[in-house]
């Protein structure tokens, strides 16, 4: 299971914020143990939307506006109809977190 998250201010080591690939293990008594696996370098649009608390449409608009960086690594061939490739959009996790922080600081989120 992949969960994206942001620690609170007191948990930020040297101001760094990371999105982590985690596993959640539920025990018989109702408790859950969350284990961090690896920091995520890239995020899907759905993961970014979950972290930002918005829709995937909003995430794509932020990408098109240049507010979030990413790429379409599967976009090898140019389409004959002149439209953009329909390859999956992969977003840079740090740019998503930076965008969230800037929106939060402006008080718009």
Model confidence pLDDT, tens digit, residues 28-76: 888 887 776 566 678 889 989 988 899 999 999 999 999 999 988 776 6
Q: What is the pTM of this model?
A: 0.59
**CA-to-CA distance for 19 and 99, rounded, in angstroms?**
13
Residue 12's pLDDT band (cuts 50, 70, 90) = very low
β-strands 42-43, 70-71 pairing: unpaired
**CA-to-CA distance for 20 and 57, rounded, in angstroms?**
23
Residue scoring higher pLDDT (56 or 8): 56
The dihedral sign for the CA sequence 39, 41, 43, 49? positive
Q: Which domains does the chain have, with CATH numbers?
A: 9-76+85-106 (1.10.1660)
């Amino acid at each position: 299971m992949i969960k994206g998250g942001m620690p609170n201010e007191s948990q930020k080591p040297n101001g760094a914020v990371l999105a982590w690939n985690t596993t959640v293990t539920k025990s018989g008594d109702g408790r859950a143990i969350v284990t961090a696996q690896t920091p995520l370098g890239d995020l899907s649009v759905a993961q970014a939307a979950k972290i930002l608390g918005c829709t995937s449409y909003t995430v794509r608009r932020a990408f098109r506006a240049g507010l979030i960086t990413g790429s379409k690594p599967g976009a090898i061939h140019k389409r004959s109809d002149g439209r953009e490739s329909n390859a999956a959009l992969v977003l840079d996790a740090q740019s998503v977190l930076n965008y969230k922080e800037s929106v939060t600081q402006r008080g718009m989120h």
